[in-house]
Structure 1
């Protein structure tokens, strides 16, 4: 099973709509996910839902942050994230894809800056591969705005992810040796910008219990979709789950 980048986006949407200062929530959800890799069907995966906001530390799903500076409108933090993107040829159904090398998930460290205004929030983030699986650098520029009603909070968002050449070539490139084994064309990927739009919803069922749903649509950039490992031009993910606020 491959967990794709849109899962990172969808869980990030969950985090932006779930926690307030000094709040901790824990739960579980299910994600329907379309993998762009050949040989994978649509999958449904169980995921934990974790969110904590403190004065100096936060957990927003797959990212932990240490706040270096914060006021009413600004937040600057050092971040450590788990990037679950990986490729396992043993789990793939395509004959050619089964002969490729494994691509492993990795941990990334970097920084994130948030600017909060009445019209919404901006996020700028960048991080590098701390485990040197890809040796790559990724970044994000995004906008989101929680719209709070009596029991329902809606958070529309849009943004773009940046992936450098090392990151993309590790996950989507095909080496000469792999090409000879598989029959796929040799391919070297460059850097890319991946746009997305999303919507997260949180509904308060009881004083402590919340229902969550998030959807994300991603358009794959040319340097990804032109890879012989890829067989689609866009990707979609949907998550639903329940959390308990402590």
Structure 2
């Protein structure tokens, strides 16, 4: 579930009018990110990933890490995009934890869908609907979020909350136990649709107009049908991401 590409990085720049989004930066960026997240599966070791950050943005596209947007015409403060992303943190191999021994591998998925963002005077509201284009889970995901930027000199603080709905196919693929995988300690389990709740705070510090560093701390409260899985022994998943980016 850990995705370094999930948090947008914004360099210090002049503010636009209240009813218009700030002009997008243009060009390439390079950096590095480190992410840590407590795994969802019982007995699995904590995961730390170091990934290069590659960004590109112009009038038509936005690329950040493992995600990319194709920008569509906007309507004032409301923007639209076709969104693609690779969910590197999803899935497992049978040797990732003792509870998974004998389970078939669950593969990460490539997601494709649409996204909309509405910038108001008080906050940024966002919605996203995506499907598993790789057909591993054949699942669907919907996300609703709200966040607000607070600027203090070179610092920007962005608290956020989100609700993420996953359908039964997604939950059953990643958290279900097939009849042929069941044991005395791992009963068969069929996943149901559920909703996770997320809260987080992203802190960004701009060293200059071109480079800066970010720290993102978050927690995800798992939905009931994920918590009920015999593969899961946690209710909340904390995560930390930090990194540095230079834009050319």
The alignment's TM-score, normalised by the length of structure 1, stands at 0.89
User: For residue 187 of structure 2, what is the aligned residue in structure 1?
Assistant: 185
Distance 2:165 2:29 in 1: 30
SS at match of 2:187: coil
The 8 Å contact of residues 56 and 67 in structure 1, kept in 2 or not, is answered as: yes
Q: CA deviation at 1:131?
A: 1.2
The question of 1:217 aligning with 2:219 is answered yes
Residue of structure 2 equivalent to 1:36: 40
Q: In the alignment, which residue of structure 2 is the partner of 1:87? A: 92
1:60-86 per-position Cα deviation (integer Å, ceiling 9, x unaligned): 433211112224401111111112211
- Unaligned stretches of 5+ residues in structure 2: 13-22
| Change in CA separation of 1:158 and 1:214 when aligned onto 2, cut-off 3 Å | same
Shift of 1:21: 0.5
Contact residue 86 and residue 103 of structure 1 kept, 8 A: yes
Match of 2:233 in 1: 231
1:147–1:116 Cα change, 3 Å: same
Distance 2:65 2:196 in 1: 21
Q: Distance in 2 between matches of 1:18 and 1:228?
A: 44
Q: How many residues align?
A: 236
The whole-number CA distance in structure 2 between the counterparts of 1:15 and 1:245 is: 13
8 Å Cα contact 1:25-1:52 kept in structure 2: yes
Q: Would the aligned equivalents of 2:11 and 2:211 in 1 still touch at CA under 8 Å?
A: no
Shift of 1:223: 0.4
C-alpha separation in 2, matches of 1:17 and 1:194: 27
Q: Is the 8 A contact 2:9 2:214 kept in 1?
A: no
Residue of 166, 170, 173 corresponding to 1:167: 170
In the other structure, the counterpart of 2:17 is: none
Relative to structure 1, the CA distance from residue 135 to residue 63 in structure 2 (aligned partners, 3 Å threshold; closer, same or farther) is same
Following superposition, the deviation at residue 29 of structure 1 comes to 1.6
Aligned match of 1:68: 72
Moved more, 14-23 or 226-235: 14-23
Q: Which has the higher helix share?
A: 1
**TM-score (structure 2 length as normaliser):** 0.89
C-alpha RMSD of the superposition: 1.8
Query: Which runs of structure 2 are paired with 1:78-227 in the superposition (5 Å)?
Result: 78-84=82-88, 85-90=90-95, 92-94=96-98, 96-180=99-183, 183-227=185-229
Q: Conserved in 2, the CA contact under 8 Å of 1:172 and 1:229?
A: yes
Query: How much does 1:16 deviate?
Result: 5.5
The answer to whether the 8 A contact 2:11-2:206 is kept is: no
Gaps of 5+ in 1: none
1:15 to 1, 4, 8: 8
Q: 1:232 to 1:170 in 2, by over 3 A?
A: same
Partner of 2:19: none
